[in-house]
Amino acid sequence: MGAFVVVALSRGLFGTGERVGLGLSAGLGLYMVAAGAASFALLRTYPHATLGLCNIVTLARLVIVATLVGALLSNPGPSWAVFSLAAIGLVLDGVDGWLARKQNLTSSFGARFDVEVDAAFALVLTLHALVGGTAGFAVLFLGLPYYLFRGASLVAPWLSHPLPERFSRKAMCVVQIAVLIAIQLPFVASGLLDPVVVAVAVALAWSFARDILWLWRKNS
């Protein structure tokens, strides 16, 4: 079902043509791989008998990310279509966790699924801003930190240990995504939000550094 939605959104928002077809193929490929990995993790670790609306909403956010990947290859740069899709994705980000708590369906799988979709969302929006020329290279510091952190955990496994819940971490993620979405607005001049991007990148680095320090102290 999700794959059909990716196709419908891509065709409806970005039209047809060779480049759109290439982007659509890439977006569909990402969706199929990510959805397959999520299904595998679901079968192995999900503790509840029902999937719940919470995970369906997160899956819908994955559909949006996949569609934005297609747009990156076919229609890079700021546009109302990209902005609107991204804004919907941000709104849904506040819904899945609430639904999980409301339906008593919280799980480590759901939390991990949410984080992975958030990270992919940030990276794709970062690439849209960079390729479209609406932000400088500093914007990479909004899209790459999570993947650098995950890469470092392969060398230092203690970095993959559980972290305590922190509202500030969640708020930082919202600010990060919100700034990346604002860059997608067609009327925002190139480089206009670069000072904001730098400020958020510094705050994001501080948030990661605090978590790394906590993990080091906990596991040293």
Q: Which residues of 83-97 are buried (b: 16+ CB within 10 A; e: fewer)?
A: bebbbebbeebebbb
Q: Give the CATH number, domain containing residue 190.
A: 1.20.120
What are 114-153's pLDDT values in tens digits? 999 999 999 999 999 998 888 888 899 999 999 999 999 9
Task: Please tell me the total count of domains within the chain.
Answer: 1
Confidence (pLDDT) at 70: 86
Enter the pTM of the model.
0.91
Spatial contact of 202 and 148, defined as CB atoms under 8 Å apart: no
What are 17-62's pLDDT values in tens digits? 666 677 788 888 888 999 899 999 988 888 888 888 999 999 999 9
Owning domain of residue 59: 2-219
Q: Name the token pair of 86.
A: 């991204």
